[in-house]
Amino acid sequence: MRQTTIKDIAEKLRLSPSTVSRALNDHPDISENTKDRVRSLAERLEYQPNSIAQSLQKRRSKIIGVVVPQVKHVFFASIMGGITDVAYDAGYTVMICSSNESHQREEMNIRELIAQRVAGLLISITQSTEGCEHFKWIRKRNIPLVFFDRVCEELEASQVVVDDHDGAFKAVQHLVQRGYKRIAHIGGPEFLNISRERLRGYRDALHAAGREIDETLILHAGLNEEHGIQGMTELLDAVSPGPDAVFCVNDPVAIGAYSVLRQKGLKIPADVALAGFSDNPIASIIDPPLTTVLQPATEMGRRAAQLLLRQIEFEKETVPVREVLKTELVVRQST
C-alpha cells in the first residue's frame, strides 16, 4: 500500500500542500479549525512525515548519534538507557554505533553519522584514541557535540564525567584502613582521562597515608578482562614480594584479575584483596563479592543527552560545560 503524502491530504481537503504542511507544523498563520481538519485526516490516513525530506530541508534530522567504545559491558548499556530516555521524551530518535575500542571504527562511525545529518553527537572515545582530528570534523560542520565518561581533552567541548580521582582515592583509602601494605594498581591506557585520574587518586591516597609508592606495583594495561588477566599474572610472576591488595581501573579488569587469583589457588581477600571501579552487576554475584566504586551510569547518560539537546535547541554556539558526578564506594567481601 502506497504511503500517504501531504499532497494526498491536500487534495482530499481541497487545500494547498503548503497549507497542509504548515497546519501539521502548527504554524500560527493557520486557523485552529484548519489544523484540526488536517490532523484528523492525517491520523485517519496514517500519514507519516518523510524524515529524510525534512532533514534535507532543515539540513538536520531528529536523530541523535551515539558512539560508545563497547556495548557488551553493562556500564555503557546503562548510559545508553539514560540517553534514550531523555532523547525520546524530547521527540528524538537515537542511532547507536559501537567502535569496539577501535580508533578506525570510531572515525568510520562519526563519518556515517555526519552523513545521516544527525542533530548532534554523544561520544565516549576508545582506549586506542590518542588524537582529536576526527572530532574536529564535527566542529567544522557546527554539529553539537558532548563527550561522556572518556573524553577528548584537546577539544573544547561539553562533557559529563564522574569524579574518577575521588572514587579511586576512597577505594585505596579503604584498603589502607583495612591494613593492606602492598597495594598494587592495574591501570588503563595512560593517555585516557579516566586512567590518569584513577591513578592520581591511587597515588594521592597512599601519599595521604604516609606511604611511599612502589612503582613496580603500578601496571598500565587496557580496560577489558584480558588486560586484568595479563596484569595480575605479571604482578604475581614478576614482583617480589607480591601485592596483598590490588585496585583495578575498572570492574572488567578486576574480574580478569579475580580469575587469575582463583586459578592460582590464592584466597580473596586473605591472600590478596581486590577492588574495582564501576559496580557492574557481576561484582555483587561473584564469590566473594567485589568491593568497587559505583558510577551513576544512567544519570551520566541523562545529563549528557540534556546538555546536547540544549545545544541543539538553541542552535547557536554555547559555552562548553563540564559536569562532574559523584561516585560511591561499595564495600564487599573481596576486601
> Which of the pair, 319 or 285, is modelled with greater confidence?
285
Number of CB atoms found within 10 A of residue 40's CB? 11
The least confident of 62-71, 154-163, 311-320 is 311-320
Judge whether residue 126 has pLDDT over 70. yes
Which pLDDT tens digit goes with each residue over 266-287? 999 999 999 999 999 999 999 9
What is the edge-to-edge ordering of all strands in the sheet holding 93-98? 93-98, 63-68, 120-123, 145-148, 158-162, 322-325
Position 232, amino acid:
M
Report the percentage of the chain scoring pLDDT > 90.
Answer: 71
Q: Specify burial of residue 293 (Cβ count, 10 A radius: 0-12, 13-18, 19+).
A: buried
Q: What is the pLDDT of residue 316?
A: 56
> Which of the pair, 233 or 40, is modelled with greater confidence?
233
Q: Distance of CA 74 to CAs 16, 55, 118, 254, Å?
A: 51, 33, 25, 15
Q: Where in the chain is the domain with CATH 1.10.260.40?
A: 6-49
Q: Which of 109, 101, 108 is nearest to 66 (CA)?
A: 109
Owner of C-alpha cell 581477600: 269
At the topology level, CATH places domain 60-162+297-327 in Rossmann fold (3.40.50)
Judge whether residue 233 has pLDDT over 80. yes
Judge whether residue 2 has pLDDT over 80. no
> Which of the pair, 314 or 75, is modelled with greater confidence?
75
> Which of the pair, 313 or 178, is modelled with greater confidence?
178
Which pLDDT tens digit goes with each residue over 25-81? 778 788 999 999 988 898 888 877 655 455 444 455 799 999 999 988 889 999 999
Q: What is the pLDDT of residue 326?
A: 97
Q: Which of 326, 322, 335, 333 is nearest to 294 (CA)?
A: 326
Mean pLDDT of the chain: 91
Q: How far apart are CA 145 and CA 138, in angstroms?
A: 7
Report whether CATH 3.40.50.2300 matches the domain 164-294: yes
The least confident of 43-52, 90-99, 104-113, 287-296 is 43-52
Q: Where in the chain is the domain with CATH 3.40.50.2300?
A: 60-162+297-327, 164-294
Judge whether residue 192 has pLDDT over 90. yes
Cell numbers for 91: 521527540
- CATH number attached to the domain at 6-49: 1.10.260.40
